[in-house]
Each structure stands twice: as C-alpha cells, then as structure tokens.
Amino acid sequence: MTEILNQVFAIIEDRKANPKQGSYTNRLFDEGEDEIVKKIGEEAIEVILAAKSQGDTRVISELADLVYHCLVLLSYRGLSPDDIYQELDRRHRP
C-alpha cells in the first residue's frame, strides 16, 4: 500500500521540481496553499456524499482524489508521507 502512495508522491515532487505545461499538479502549486486546501475540503465532502448514497466504487474514487490532494499539500509544505507514517507509528506504540 505505501509503495503506490510513495510512487504518486514522487510524481508530485517531480512536478514541483520540474514543472510541466498543462499539469494539474502544477496548477495547484501555482495557485497556492489556499486552493490546495479548498480542493481537500471539496474532496472530503464528496467522500461523505459518496459514502451516504453513491456506492463503494464512487467512495473509492473520491477517496483516491482526497488522498492525491493531501499528498499535494504535503509536498507544498515540504512534508512527505513518511511524516504521516511516523506519526501513526508514534500513536500506535505500546
């Protein structure tokens, strides 16, 4: 599971370092943190709506969108999925 998240994050980091014309990721970076956070909020609402009435396929699709936008936020702030893994590990230590 973490492998694909790391692969997607690596692509996001590459877009950050090497902007690509027409890239949605680069558009988010260019628009800044407020736009990224706005998209996270929109996707979170879409996850809720999907969970309540649109079926599992839609839930998965919306969750994937939410995770992607969260990864963009991590990159924008100079963080990484490893920071989340470390926090989860810290929380679940005996």
Q: Structural domains in the chain? A: 2-91 (1.10.287.1080)
Compute the distance between CA of residue 16 and CA of residue 7 in angstroms, rounded to an integer.
14
pTM here?
0.92
Band of the pLDDT at 16, cuts 50, 70, 90?
A: very high
Q: Which residue has the higher pLDDT, 38 or 1?
A: 38
Q: Tell me 18's DSSP state.
A: S
Give the pLDDT of residue 93: 84
What sign for the dihedral angle of Cα 75, 78, 82, 85? negative
**Which pLDDT band holds residue 1 (cuts at 50, 70, 90)?**
low
CA 21 remoteness from chain centre: 21
In whole angstroms, how far apart are CA 13 and each of 20, 49, 83, 88, 94? 12, 30, 15, 22, 34
Predicted confidence (pLDDT) per residue in 58-92, tens digit:
999 999 999 999 999 999 999 999 999 999 999 99
